[in-house]
Structure 1
Amino acid sequence: MTRVIEILPAGGWDVAQATDVFAADYEGRHRRRMMLGLRSGEKVLLELEHARLLQAGDGLKLDDGRIVRVEALPEKLMEVTAHDPLHLMRLAWHLGNRHLPAAIDAQRILVRQDHVIADMIRGLGGHVHEVEAPFDPESGAYTARAASHDHAHGEEHHHHHGHGHSHSHD
């Protein structure tokens, strides 16, 4: 059984070295342990200590020396836009306050579909459009999925945001 032995961060390796591709949506790329089906039809074992999101462009170094490129498949998302950059920043703050995975650029924020969040954004004066695009959210040490998993299992986290106080998640 061929295994993944190292994850090479996007931008930190030569993509020309890739011999195969692992393509999946957000859920399919957020894993701790699973058999990954490659584009060639081969299957390789991913076994990590903790679940993490495989970002588009990451390389999966295999125990036989080959490298597999990670690709994000298009999926249905909500595109959040605003009437000016400051308004978009405020909407980003509200989304971040809910620990939602989000892909952010200067013109828009992409989040997974959720009618409650869509209603909140509209209530704050933002615009929501359904789009289909690869979802590669900002990476961070603390993800919404990890938080919801840990809460369900009674685990407590304290994380510091560098602004004079920490948030406890009980």
Structure 2
Amino acid sequence: MTLPVAAKVVSIADGMAADTVTLDEAGRNRRRIAMTSDGGIRFLLDLSEARLLRHGDGLQLSDGRIIAVRAKPEPLYRVHPQDALHLLRLAWHLGNRHCPAQIDREFILIRRDHTLRAMLEGLGAEVEDIEAPFDPEGGAYDGGHHHHD
């Protein structure tokens, strides 16, 4: 039996998907891999280049079905700054360490790392342990990524 192939990432509306696939951030950064949806649909992801699949993306299968991508919660830190300027300083320090980060107006999300936690707390940030989907910013050369309210 030949697996359906997902070679295209599409925008989807609620209710359009035949199923979902729930992956952590590392599992969503792919180009080519055999996958199984949450409901058991087996398919081959075969994109032209590696990319981070975002929560809400759709993978269009060669048979026409769409599989919705869902971000799996993972252990993170929510970093709370003192104010907007402090948020910028914290983001600079994280970026200087090439740390993937999801940046919001009110906080920054990063993967748990005790060394980074100590640094951030030393810089005056409040650091909270959470479990949440992780959708970090893309690199400067991948077209960027913006979080919407």
C-alpha displacement of 1:100: 1.9
Distance 2:139 2:21 in 1: 22
Distance 2:19 2:67 in 1: 5
The structure 1 segments of at least 4 consecutive aligned residues displaced by more than 6 Å after TM superposition are none
Distance 1:13 1:71 in 2: 12
1:17 match: secondary structure:
coil
C-alpha displacement of 1:142: 5.0
**Contact 1:13 1:59 survives alignment (8 Å):** yes
**Which structure's residues are more often helix, by fraction?**
1
Partner deviation per Cα, 1:95-132 (whole Å, 9 max, x = no partner): 12222221111111000111121121112111211101
How many equivalent residue pairs? 140
The match for 2:130 is 131
**Contact 2:19 2:39 survives alignment (8 Å):** yes
Sort the Cα spacing of 1:124 and 1:142 in 2 relative to 1 into closer, same or farther, 3 A: farther
- TM-score for the superposition, normalised by structure 1: 0.75
Which region of structure 1 is more displaced relative to structure 2, 75-84 or 131-140?
131-140
The match for 1:89 is 88
C-alpha displacement of 1:36: 1.5
RMSD (CA atoms): 1.7
Q: Identity of aligned pairs, percent?
A: 49
Task: Give runs of aligned pairs for residues 91-130 of structure 1, distance below 5 A.
Answer: 91-130=90-129
2:93 match: secondary structure:
helix
> What code does the residue aligned with 2:137 have?
E
Distance 1:15 1:120 in 2: 41
Distance 1:125 1:113 in 2: 17
The match for 2:15 is 16
Partner deviation per Cα, 1:16-72 (whole Å, 9 max, x = no partner): 311110111111111222112101111111123432211101110111111111000
> What code does the residue aligned with 1:28 have?
G
The match for 2:9 is 7
**Contact 2:5 2:44 survives alignment (8 Å):** yes
**Contact 1:15 1:69 survives alignment (8 Å):** no
> What code does the residue aligned with 1:6 have?
K
> Higher relative contact order by CA 8 Å / sep ≥ 6: 1 or 2?
2
The match for 2:50 is 51
1:93 match: secondary structure:
helix
The match for 1:152 is none
- TM-score for the superposition, normalised by structure 2: 0.85
